[in-house]
């Protein structure tokens, strides 16, 4: 088939399409814990997210923002970090849309090309 396994997490394996030109839509990367960082500062904590690759090469983030700093989340460069068993995946944030209200709220963001993976575990 045209898929390859890229990670085994607590919710199961994450599969990414190796060939996107045949019309097969890649499956989103889903996770429970994610975060937004501005430099060394935590800008936001995300609980439950999905990251989907768009046709134009950008990525779309959708999730629930449970804690954030209103100043830091508006700064750039902002990076979305998705930890996994052996390290973390990172994407630069292009645009952010934070829902209104108090408490946990919806977040939608446009992400740039994936940054090099950070390996933290020993293989």
Q: Label residue 4 by pLDDT band (50, 70, 90).
A: very low
Rounded CA-CA distance 67/69 in Å is: 7
Model pLDDT, residue 1? 35
Rounded CA-CA distance 39/111 in Å is: 16
Q: Is the pLDDT of residue 80 over 90?
A: yes
- The encoded tokens of residue 98 equal 């934070």
Model pLDDT, residue 36? 98
The average pLDDT across 66-77 equals 96
- State which H helix or E strand residue 107 sits in: strand 105-111
Instruction: Give the domain ranges of the chain.
Output: 24-119
User: 6-10, 28-32, 48-52: which range is least confident on average?
Assistant: 6-10
Rounded CA-CA distance 34/48 in Å is: 8
Q: What is the largest CA-CA distance in the chain?
A: 46
Q: Label residue 9 by pLDDT band (50, 70, 90).
A: very low
């Amino acid at each position: 088939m045209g898929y390859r396994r890229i990670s085994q997490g607590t919710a199961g394996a994450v599969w990414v399409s190796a060939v996107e030109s045949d019309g097969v839509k890649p499956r989103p990367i889903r996770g429970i814990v994610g975060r937004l960082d501005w430099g060394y500062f935590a800008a936001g904590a995300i609980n439950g997210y999905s990251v989907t690759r768009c046709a134009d090469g950008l990525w779309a983030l959708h999730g629930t923002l449970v804690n954030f700093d209103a100043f830091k989340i508006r700064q750039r460069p902002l990076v979305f970090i998705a930890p996994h068993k052996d390290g973390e995946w990172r994407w630069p944030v292009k645009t952010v849309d934070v829902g209104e209200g108090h408490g946990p709220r919806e977040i939608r963001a446009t992400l740039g090309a994936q940054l090099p993976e950070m390996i933290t575990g020993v293989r």
